Structure 1
Amino acid sequence: MSTSNITTQKVNFKVFRFNADEDYLPYYEDYNMDVTSEEVVLDILNRIKWDHDGSFSYRRSCRHGICGACAIKVNGRSTLACKENMSTMIELFGSELTIEPLSIKRAVKDMIIDKGDFWEKHDAIHPYLISDVDEHPEHEHIVTPEEADRLLEADLCIQCGACHYACPALEVNDRFLGPAAFAKAYRFEADVRDQARNERLQELHSEEQGIWDCVKCFECAEVCPKDVNPIDKITKLHLMLFKEGVATSNVATRHAVGFKHSIAKHGMLDEGGLVLYSEGPGIVKHIPVALQMFRKGKIVMPWNMPKSDNLDEIQKLIKSSSTAKF
């Protein structure tokens, strides 16, 4: 980059500080710095340590967006410090930036967190190929390009934890396995060489920690620095549960089935009918909310449920795109 194209801007960084061995509570320290357009967030972390406070701690390694060690949050947004250009951060958030670890409640020292829960959940889905391999094979197990494409680049995950600690479902449910674990599970479920498909799917189907607890917020897709798109893999795991005959009748699976039935019947979603289909008699606990929704016009009586003008086309699309038996 030509030096004539480099611009400089003054930015105030509000930086999370905490040392579990010395501090009772965390605090934030301000650093006012001139930032150039060629710098990335990691450069700022380095400058804070080298020029302002040598005790400032963070993880870093490759500086090429490969190892995932430097994942932090900038203004609440998970990011890789070595990949995120400061110009982008300033454009998004202005000249007041807050730098925090991926998980404040797991902070050990400044940006360094205890990722024990992340690795426990990563290991829980058996993140390796399970196959009855011949000890003395006559030839290698060939995987065609088409079969490799089925992985949908799930193997690009660098285990940085950005999606894991940005997931709101995991924030309120410690048992939830999280998007990174599900993306890794899909990587092996989609591998034609793996022979533990049903066993792994059974574990992913479990209540409270399995894929049905995903709230479809798409936050994991937004923050993933490698464009793995975990929510896409979670959706495909949902479909695998049905295709492999692993899915059992519970509120979550009935919700998925009811959603399809509602669209096929009306061309649009009947929200009241969906809750009834999903929860059956359990719907009585939702009556107060249902009454409020009815007053707001959010739900209607079954006999007043409208139908889409393009219902025939919608039904054809559903029929052609349905690849699993519900």
Structure 2
Amino acid sequence: MSDTRKVTIKAFRFNAETDYLPYYKQYEMEVGKDELILDLLNRIKWEHDGSFSYRRSCRHGICGACAIKVNGRATLACKQNAMELLDLFDNELVFEPSSKKRAVKDMIIDKKDFWDKHAAVQPYVVADIDPHPEHETKQSIEEFNKFLDSDLCIQCGACHYSCPALEANPDYLGPAALNAAYRFTVDTRDNAGKERLELTAEPGVGVWDCVKCFECAEACPKEINPIEKITKLHNMQFEQGVAKSNVATRHAEGFVRSIKKHGFLDEADIVVYSEGYLGMYKHLKTAMKMMKAGKIHWNDGLPWVDNVPKSKNLDEIQKLIEISQTNKL
């Protein structure tokens, strides 16, 4: 098997100062088995077009500067082997910036929205510290382990610009900022946890606007799972009395209520519980489709009708919920 492969690369080109519209330019080269995507970016610049622009710095997967998209997939260029992607995409690679609508020059984007949202959650320890402390601030292993992998974030923005919720709602903080909010809220040295939780509880901004698509976890080059931290922020809002009654929080309560009652999910009851009978009418088209598929019945939403089957292990399920539930809804 050959150690090299002839490759066609289509690179997104755009200069905000001179171009009205972006375009794609094609390059052909022989790619070796050990070359990274960053090597190919370098070769485009060094061998084909010196005006080609991108960010790079550490080359060790630490700084996050070289994040781009390759064939629509979030990629840290200094970490990703080119041959692995060529096996997936049949010898043709498309290089694009992490966010095309934020492109400044070729692969370089304006990350202002990312940094603004990151700064909004106060991603640092907030505490009154003696300027001349006599001893260090200690943490137990158990307290340190609560960080999970949230401290591994390199602020590359891969998850942020892969998030469909943020694409649809520019006010949403996004997975990277929420990961940082979790990391510093659980830090025992910090005094701004409640303030962060209140921010992450805001409708349209915080954790309740996450659609649980797991795109952020797929995109992360450090294999952090922001969804895990977002879920923990949900729980912390309930535990610390920050969660407010709204459609999102009642939807979460409805899940637990349904499982406790039946051992199964009662979709119709969750809608009624979350949005009330008036709010239920906006879902009529979806309800009709679900009725045709046999998932719900016409009388499922009526309070005096209980036709959802009970799990044969309902007692066990209820005990598990009782043991694991850390807050009262």
| Structure 1 segments unaligned to the other structure (5+ residues) | none
Q: Distance in 2 between matches of 1:166 and 1:10?
A: 29
Q: 1:6 to 1:82 in 2, by over 3 A?
A: farther
| 1:299 positional shift | 1.9
Letter paired with 1:86:
A
Partner of 2:105: 109
Match runs of 1:1-326 below 5 Å: 7-280=3-276, 281-300=278-297, 301-302=299-300, 303-326=306-329
Give a deviation string over 1:170-229, Cα, whole Å, max 9, x none.
001010000000000111011011111111111111111111000000010111111221
| 1:320 positional shift | 1.6
Identity of aligned residues (%): 63
Q: Distance in 1 between matches of 2:207 and 2:250?
A: 14
Deviates more, 1:30-39 or 1:236-245: 30-39
Letter paired with 2:38:
L
Q: Distance in 1 between matches of 2:199 and 2:125?
A: 16
| 1:90 positional shift | 1.6
SS at 1:239 equivalent: helix
Letter paired with 1:250:
N
Contact 1:61 1:67 in 2 (8 A): yes
| 1:6 positional shift | 7.1
| 1:150 positional shift | 0.6
Q: CA RMSD in A?
A: 1.3
| 1:317 positional shift | 1.8
Q: Distance in 1 between matches of 2:89 and 2:227?
A: 26
SS at 2:93 equivalent: strand
Give a deviation string over 1:144-176, Cα, whole Å, max 9, x none.
222111101211111000000000000010100
SS at 1:79 equivalent: strand
Give a deviation string over 1:3-24, Cα, whole Å, max 9, x none.
xx97111221111111111111
Contact 1:207 1:213 in 2 (8 A): yes
Letter paired with 2:40:
I
| Structure 2 segments unaligned to the other structure (5+ residues) | 301-305
Matched length: 322
Q: Distance in 2 between matches of 1:133 and 1:102?
A: 39
Q: Distance in 2 between matches of 1:6 and 1:131?
A: 58
SS at 2:176 equivalent: helix
Q: 1:312 to 1:91 in 2, by over 3 A?
A: farther
Letter paired with 2:316:
E
Letter paired with 1:183:
N
Contact 1:73 1:102 in 2 (8 A): yes
Q: Distance in 1 between matches of 2:122 and 2:35?
A: 39
| 1:94 positional shift | 2.2
Q: Distance in 1 between matches of 2:156 and 2:16?
A: 22
Q: Distance in 1 between matches of 2:44 and 2:284?
A: 55
Q: Distance in 1 between matches of 2:316 and 2:243?
A: 29
Give a deviation string over 1:82-136, Cα, whole Å, max 9, x none.
0001122122222121110000000000000000000000011111111122233
Q: Distance in 2 between matches of 1:245 and 1:94?
A: 53
TM-score by length of 2: 0.95
Q: Distance in 2 between matches of 1:263 and 1:92?
A: 41
SS at 2:208 equivalent: helix
Q: Distance in 1 between matches of 2:84 and 2:251?
A: 40
Contact 1:121 1:177 in 2 (8 A): yes
SS at 2:144 equivalent: helix
Q: Distance in 2 between matches of 1:87 and 1:299?
A: 48
